Amino acid sequence: MVPQNLILKQMEIGPLANYLYFLGDAQTKEIAVIDPAWDVDFLCSEAEKENYKITSIFLTHGHPDHVNGLEEMLSRHDVPVYISKHEADFYKPQHKNMVEVENHAKLKIGNIAFECILTPGHTPGCQCFKHENILIAGDAVFIDGCGRCDLPGGDAKIMYDTLYNIIMKLPDETVIYPGHNYGPKPSATIGEQKKTNPYFTCQSKEEFLQHRMGIAL
């Protein structure tokens, strides 16, 4: 259930089945674009159609498939861009509007606050954005999957800690909104994922590492 005051629009865009999001305050119609990539024309026209005002950009991480529309978006909307301070330097886009945030920083869109939660493993500075039971998860976790850990800056041991000590400790009713459409449905609760996500059901860190590094997702 999406909280009444929240704007949450999920859009699948680009050749890698990226999920981009509008997240915002339904009362003020202010939104953040999560991971502007692939088709900025589409994003801007969708926002205009709904009369949304883009007031910020949140980045889940710095991989090109999540940020390749950033510059163009900024040329149309001169707004702050929030990225984790812990993201690898080689993944951080260079722009005067970049703002680096700490783990647990609170970001506001209109009157709604979102918590940044550092969830490394896929990259050093992957972060999720949480408001009540909504978790925008980027590439930390997919429905019935999780982000790959074999790219520069990735680390499967750290991913294990992210999944088992951070994400799975959130309330079971938390709804995961992933960074790609790689699963059987667009979103699912953590409680559901504890039953169906093979990365959530490992008996040990070793089992997880074998499973994660043995499969190239």
Segment near Fe ion (CB under 5 A); pick from 2-10, 84-92, 132-140, 186-194: 132-140
- Residue 127 beta carbon to Fe ion: minimum distance, rounded to whole angstroms: 12
Instruction: Find out whether 24 and 109 touch, Cβ atoms under 8 Å.
Output: yes
Helix (H, G, I), strand (E, B) or coil at 120: coil
Q: Which is nearer to Fe ion, 87 or 139 (CB)?
A: 139
Count of positions (residues) in the chain: 217
Amino acid letter, residue 57: I
Is the Cβ of residue 139 or residue 144 nearer to Fe ion in the bound state?
139
Instruction: Give the nearest distance from C-beta 207 to Fe ion in angstroms.
Output: 24
Residues 133-192 that bind Fe ion (CB under 5 A): 139
Buried b (16+ CB within 10 A) or exposed e, 16-31: eebbbbbbbbbebebb
Nearer to Fe ion among residue 25 and residue 144 (C-beta): 144
Residue 54 CA to residue 213 CA, distance in Å, equals: 39
Residue 16 or 209 with smaller CB distance to Fe ion: 16
Binding mask 58-77 for Fe ion (x = CB under 5 A): -----x--------------
With CB under 5 A, what is the number of residues at the site for Fe ion? 2
Nearest to 9, CA basis, from 24, 101, 81, 113: 24
Q: Cα–Cα distance between 89 and 87 in angstroms, integer?
A: 6
- The residue (of 68 and 193) whose beta carbon lies closer to Fe ion is 68
Q: What is the DSSP letter of 35?
A: S
Angle among Cα 194, 199, 200 to the nearest 5 degrees reads: 25
Residue 87 touching Fe ion (CB under 5 A): no
Q: How far is the CB of 123 from Fe ion (least distance, A)?
A: 7
In the complex, what is the shortest distance from the CB of residue 84 to Fe ion, in angstroms, rounded to a whole number?
13
- Which positions touch Fe ion (CB under 5 A)? 63, 139
